[in-house]
A = this chain, B = another copy of it.
Amino acid sequence: MHSHPTQPESPNCVLCREDGGALVWRGSRLRLIRASEEGFPAFYRVIWNAHVAEFSDLSRADRAFCMEVVAAVEQLVREHLKPAKINLAALGNMVPHLHWHVIARWEWDSHFPAPVWANAQRSRDAEKEAAISARLPALDALLRERLQAEFA
């Protein structure tokens, strides 16, 4: 267990004030939330708790810890949902507080193979999205269990 002497907060930062989504698991250094992004039901974010803007602002140990959590989330999402691809990204242009998007993608999703931030390639498939959504509570429970076992 690692503890931060300070957890710097930035007064106007939404990720300092709020969980930033449906909280799946919270650890001392980071948390996992599931986002509500239209058209992309299996969209998770690993959010660093302290207010740091860039990945390279973390220590080497914190970077390794953060990416092992990202990889664990990715792995469980893959095993449980069998997506066509996982997309990982830390952008933060709007909210410069380190958070990693972990997004499951399918050939049938509205944007594939374009990034989720690009223009849609086709209409959404409500039935397929609902089938994924129905499996998320079980996946969230698996994620919570694994993160608590390995990263608490």
A interface residues with partner B (beta carbon < 8 Å): 53-56, 60, 63-64, 67-68, 70-72, 74-75, 78, 84-94, 96, 105, 112-115, 117-119
Taking the closest CB of chain B, its distance from the CB of A76, in whole angstroms, is 9
Query: For the complex, would chain A's binding face be called helix, strand, loop or mixed by DSSP majority?
Result: mixed
Taking the closest CB of chain B, its distance from the CB of A94, in whole angstroms, is 5
Tell me the bound Cα distance from A78 to B119 in angstroms. 29
When the two chains form their complex, are residues A87 and B90 in contact, meaning their CB atoms are under 8 A apart? yes
Tell me the bound Cα distance from A94 to B88 in angstroms. 14
- Which residue in chain B gives the minimum CB-CB distance to A107? B93
When the two chains form their complex, are residues A88 and B85 in contact, meaning their CB atoms are under 8 A apart? no
When the two chains form their complex, are residues A55 and B86 in contact, meaning their CB atoms are under 8 A apart? yes
Tell me the bound Cα distance from A86 to B98 in angstroms. 11
Tell me the bound Cα distance from A113 to B85 in angstroms. 25
Taking the closest CB of chain B, its distance from the CB of A98, in whole angstroms, is 10
Nearest 10 CB-CB pairings of A with B: A93-B113, A89-B89, A115-B117, A56-B75, A56-B74, A117-B118, A88-B90, A56-B71, A87-B91, A117-B117
